[in-house]
Each structure stands twice: as C-alpha cells, then as structure tokens.
C-alpha cells in the first residue's frame, strides 16, 4: 500500500527539489534552449523554504512532488507545482494541491493565481481552478500561457 504524505520542505533539499522540478518540466519534451530559459523558474528558493512557503509530497517516504506559493503583484500565486514523472498518475498532485490550499488558507490567502504550463492546465481545472485568460511567460520570451485562478475554499469545504 502506498502512502502519500505532505510536509514542509527543508532548506537542505533545495537542490534535489529543483532537480525534481527540472525532470518534471523536461518530461513534456521541451528542448534544451527552452529548459535553459526555464532554469530560474524551476529552481526552488531556500529562502522561500525557510519562510514555510514550499511543500513536499512523498510517496512511501520518497519525494514525489514539490509546490510553492509566491507573491504575485498584490496577491499570491502557485509559483511552482511539479510532480516527479515517475510518480504522475498516482494521486501525488491531487494530495499536494489540497495541502497547498491548506497552506494558503492558514496564511490568510483567499485566492491564488496560476500561470500554467499548457500541459498542466487540465489538472488545475480538475482541482477547481478556472481559466481567466492568458498571460506572457515569466521565463520564456514570446510564450503565452494559460492563466487560471482558484478561490481558496473555507476549511470545512472540499474541492
């Protein structure tokens, strides 16, 4: 029986979690140039970890996903959300998403924006996010991405 747990990230994991983000993005077949443009966006910030903004999902004790909340203008966004390719389809993303909403709620955040990779937009919509438009990529020049938003439900609600 596999068990998915979610916990706060630890500073010393920043490098290995960044590698997980890179593996996850590369899974979609992006070329080397694209991946180089994306390097900063795929790097997990140890300071954000220290601030308690980064979560790790584990499947049977092995890191299987990482997610982070970050500032976005006068609000907040899901800044990073990645599942290890070997762990996709096993419920890791769904469990991590619920935990990220719990973190947002605990911090008093009522709404999160999501600048989504096109390959992930369907997942976010299944989790309750709604498509609100498109926006330029913050990593890859000339690329436009789906922009989604989710209202953080009250603690007694389910997504």
The structural domains of the chain, with segments of one domain joined by +, span 4-151
130-136: strand order across its sheet: 4-8, 54-59, 62-72, 75-83, 111-115, 144-151, 130-136
Q: Is the domain covering 4-151 a CATH 3.40.630.30 domain?
A: yes
* Tens-level pLDDT at each residue, the chain (159 residues): 478 999 999 999 999 999 999 999 999 988 898 888 889 989 999 999 999 999 999 988 889 999 999 998 889 999 999 999 998 888 999 999 999 999 999 999 999 999 999 999 999 999 999 999 999 988 888 889 999 999 998 876 555
CB atoms within 10 A of CB 34: 15
Which DSSP symbol is given to 13?
G
pLDDT at 158: 55
Spacing of C-alpha 70 from chain mean position: 10
């Amino acid at each position: 029986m596999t068990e998915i747990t979610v916990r706060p990230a630890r500073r010393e994991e920043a490098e290995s979690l960044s590698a997980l983000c890179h593996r996850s993005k590369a899974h979609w077949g992006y070329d080397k140039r694209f991946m180089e443009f994306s390097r900063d966006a795929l790097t997990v910030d140890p300071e954000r970890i220290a601030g308690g903004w980064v979560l790790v999902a584990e499947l049977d004790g092995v890191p299987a996903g990482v997610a982070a909340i970050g500032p976005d203008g006068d609000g907040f966004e899901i800044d990073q959300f990645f599942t290890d390719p070997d762990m996709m389809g096993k419920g890791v993303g769904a469990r991590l998403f619920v935990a990220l909403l719990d973190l947002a709620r605990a911090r008093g955040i009522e709404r999160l924006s999501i600048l989504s990779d096109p390959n992930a937009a369907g997942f976010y919509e299944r989790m309750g996010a709604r498509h609100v438009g498109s926006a330029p990529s913050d990593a890859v020049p000339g690329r436009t991405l789906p922009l989604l938003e989710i209202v953080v439900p009250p603690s007694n609600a389910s997504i």
